[in-house]
Every structure is written in C-alpha cells, then in structure tokens.
Structure 1
C-alpha cells in the first residue's frame, strides 16, 4: 500500500534512436537498438517488464521517436495491450524526450528515468535505487556503481569511469527526479548531451572551480554532485549501488555477450 513516505513513481523508459544507422542494431540485424534480443527477449521488453511489475512504479512511459513501430515487434506486442504502459512520441534527443515527458505529466512526480539498454535491471536493483533516492531527499539522484564493487565481480570488463577523491564510479542509467525543480537539470543535459562521453567537456560547463576539483580529484563524488547541482539550482546526490551489474548496459557487442551470460546464469 502506498504511504505518505513511499509515493509511487512514474518511470520514463527511453528507447529512442540516434540519427543515422546504429552500428550495434545493424550488427544484430534490427532497425532499432531497443529491439536487440538479449537472452531471447528484446531489451525494451525485458526492461519494461521489470518496471511494470515493480510495486513502486505506478506507470511506465516509453519515450521514442516512433514508439508504435517498437511495439509492433512480436517480442514487444504485449506492451501495447498492457494498461500499465503508455507511449510518448517525439524528441530529437534523449534529454528533449525526457523534458517533454515531464512537462506533459505535471501530476506524475516523482519520475524515474532509465533506458532500454539497461537490460540487467532487476527488481532488487530498482528497489535499492528508489529507496536510496528517497533517503537522499534531493531534487535529483543518480545511480552509480563504484569501480571497487564492479571489479570484484567483473575484473576484466571495461566501463567508463568518473574519477573522484576516494574512488571511481560508473553510471547505472538510473535517474530519480523528485520534483519539478529537476527540470533545470534536464535542460542542462540538453545542452551537453552531444558531449556526454567527454568528461572534461561536461565538467568545464560547470565552471573552473568544479573542473579543477575534478581534474585534481580533490572532491568526493557526493560533494561534486552537490556543487554541480547548486550551479543548476537543484540539489543532487549519488545513490551508490552494491549490485555490480547495475552499470552494465548494452552499448557494444562485448556488453551483449556479458549481459547474455549474466541473464543465462540468473535463469
């Protein structure tokens, strides 16, 4: 039962495609990356099922340029008939689609944002992230996995690491937007999205003080996010997840092989 301290969350499931041919989708013979099958099921279907079945998720909204095409696939057709799942078309970028969804549903707060390639998302990770985000009490919370946690389970797998004082972290493709103030953070995301893999470029956008702190590793991740949020007019904090798989999304053929093996082991 929902309580005052445990509001149900609207999940935004990003499944759009970037301009041009997606090399990973082409490798697996599909038009959209979200339809790549992992362990026999399209990634979009697998993530949507986890979200829809979770007791803290009130509704799941699929964001894509042409969601009806995605839901016409035999492996995702169940979603079109499921009352727990809605679709929203449009948006030339991930950030634009998320911003449009937030503005279209002013009664949907708080929101959780994740992606169709977050194929290892499970109920345990989702529960831990939502609880952790709620405990932070900030406008924005970001799911991270430390390199220490990840390396214990997958010492040979490669990830992109953000390095701070006290440790390095990889994103888990989980974002919690607690209240409308978080829109300013999404607007900033729109401005830097094309440079999302260039850590220094993003840090530079926050100003010389924060950039120097990052380059010198003078700040812990908690302080860095708090200061970054302050520049955007929001409060922000990390949620450190203990599930190493939480930071494995499927961006490369190597990731697909790792995710397939993990899902097979779970089964």
Structure 2
C-alpha cells in the first residue's frame, strides 16, 4: 500500500479542518456496477470519462474545511496515482492510502489510526458521484460544533421536489422520512468510541441475537414500529452508545443519490445530463 504523499506542503492548513476518509473498497463477491463496466471496483467506473473516485476526491479537495484525504482501498486496486485524473483532483491537499479491512468499521478505524494527529474526520464513499464542495461545507458547518458522530440526511420532501418519482430507501420516524447521504463527521475521541461500537455490531452480524442486544430490544421495537420522533430516536441511540449521535439535515437532494445499483448509475447520468448537478463552485446549473 502506498505511503503518504504530500502535494504542495506550503499550502495553508485549516487548524480546525477535517481529514476525509473515502471508502473505495468493495463488499465480498462481484459488484454488478463494476462488472457491467469491466472493472473489479465500482470506484473506477467512469461517468463522462471521469472515475467516480476522482469525482469524489475533486469535490472534497474544493472544500476549504478538508486538509487531508485518505483513500481506503484493497491492494489490487493498484496505485491510486494511476487512476485517471486523481492526482490532479487532490489539488493542494495531502493524501495517503489505507488498507481496506474485512468490515467497514474496521476500515474506518484503521484509516483513523493512520492519522494520529487528526481529531476530526469526514467519512464518505467513492460511489457518491454527485458530491459537491457545497454539500461538504454545509454538512461540516453544522457538524463542527458537535462532538461525537454527525450523520447527514435528506428529507423525502426535498428529494421528491427535485426528482419526482425517484426511488430511494427511507428511514421512517414518527415525524419524518429521511434518506442517508453517505456523509459522517467524527469529532473527537467520543466519535472514535462509537465507531468501535459499530465494529462490535459488525463482528456479530452472523449472530443476530447478540447484535440486537447491543441496541436493546425496546429500542429496536420502537424503531421498527416508528414510535420515535427523529430527535427522540437519535437521543436514545446516543444514550446506548454513550456518544452523541446527531442527524444533520441537508437541503441538497443530490446528496442522497449514490450508486449502489446499475439503475442508480443511470439516474446519476440523467441528473448530470439534465443540468441538475453543479460540479464546481463557478459553474451554474
């Protein structure tokens, strides 16, 4: 795995900035999006000639709140410097690689441990093909004053207003329906503790009774029956984790659009073609 490389070390550094962790590995088995495009890894699938990983890194690099970028990937992805456009996308950010582990939480923890001087992390995925610096900035502006874990969501009404009829997976609460936006801010040691908790959850994924016990039966019943409001649900989760876990609602409909399936890839291409996506700060829809 490549060692850390520095680009423009004299560039100004935000003393309260974040280290971005980009998950560019894959789940066990064949990824259908990657396979349909002759790739092993979805991160390398191109949209308009640009790999999805390059698109994500470019958006992160345009945010003044991001200091460093860590790419989490398996060794057979090859040197990240060989991915088309990626070296230029890093701009003036420092970057490094971290070895993908058997679970997502293990991968995140390994990447965090590779940056011992960092205390704030932004975690996202390489299939967040519509990510923009504005999304990153809006999310981190809300997250930076709150320790623990902040998770980005988009309300169903926001998504449907921008993309009528779009099919998304929603979390239902007593007072809201929301979709995840694949952006997680981890602030301080409290956030690290919560990641360790989810590490235990993943380790017990083949023993459902033990996994359920981590959250408590009453909490799971409440979630399943939509008995809790959004605020109440996250308050209960925070108490269980002994860590503040806070939802951050974004006004960007595209933040909830990632590429899990081939149909998602077509959706992303349509959004770009229809002019409903702005890649750079100086472009207009």
With structure 1 as the length reference, what TM-score do the two structures score? 0.88
RMSD in angstroms over aligned alpha carbons? 2.6
State how far apart, in whole Å, the 2-side matches of 1:180 and 1:149 are: 33
Question: Out of 112, 130, 145, which is 2:122 matched to?
Answer: 112
State how far apart, in whole Å, the 1-side matches of 2:134 and 2:165 are: 24
Give 1:180's aligned residue: 189
Aligned residues of 1:173 and 1:247 also touching (Cα < 8 A): yes
Q: Which moved more, 1:256-265 or 1:117-126?
A: 256-265
| Shift, 1:78, TM fit | 4.0
| Shift, 1:64, TM fit | 1.0
Give 1:134's aligned residue: 144
Give secondary structure in 2 for the equivalent of 1:160: coil
Aligned residues of 1:35 and 1:70 also touching (Cα < 8 A): no
The 5-angstrom pairing of residues 28-47 of structure 1 reads 28-47=37-56
Give secondary structure in 2 for the equivalent of 1:209: helix
State how far apart, in whole Å, the 1-side matches of 2:27 and 2:203 are: 11
State how far apart, in whole Å, the 1-side matches of 2:90 and 2:226 are: 47
Give 1:88's aligned residue: 98
| Shift, 1:138, TM fit | 3.2
Is residue 72 from structure 1 mapped to residue 70 from structure 2 by the alignment?
no
State how far apart, in whole Å, the 2-side matches of 1:55 and 1:83 are: 10
Give 1:121's aligned residue: 131
- Where does the alignment leave 5 or more consecutive residues of structure 2 unmatched? 1-11, 279-285
Question: Out of 221, 224, 232, which is 2:230 matched to?
Answer: 221
State how far apart, in whole Å, the 1-side matches of 2:250 and 2:204 are: 25
- Where does the alignment leave 5 or more consecutive residues of structure 1 unmatched? none
- Decide whether aligned partners of structure 1 residues 34 and 27 sit closer, same or farther in structure 2, where only a CA change above 3 A counts: same
State how far apart, in whole Å, the 1-side matches of 2:244 and 2:138 are: 20
State how far apart, in whole Å, the 2-side matches of 1:152 and 1:192 are: 36
Give 1:169's aligned residue: 178
Aligned residues of 1:161 and 1:169 also touching (Cα < 8 A): yes
With structure 2 as the length reference, what TM-score do the two structures score? 0.83
State how far apart, in whole Å, the 2-side matches of 1:195 and 1:171 are: 23
State how far apart, in whole Å, the 2-side matches of 1:131 and 1:123 are: 12
| Shift, 1:68, TM fit | 3.5
Q: Which has the higher helix share?
A: 1
Residues matched between the structures, number: 261
- Decide whether aligned partners of structure 1 residues 98 and 82 sit closer, same or farther in structure 2, where only a CA change above 3 A counts: same
| Shift, 1:18, TM fit | 1.9
| Shift, 1:32, TM fit | 0.8
Is residue 248 from structure 1 mapped to residue 253 from structure 2 by the alignment?
no
State how far apart, in whole Å, the 2-side matches of 1:131 and 1:242 are: 13
Aligned residues of 1:147 and 1:161 also touching (Cα < 8 A): yes
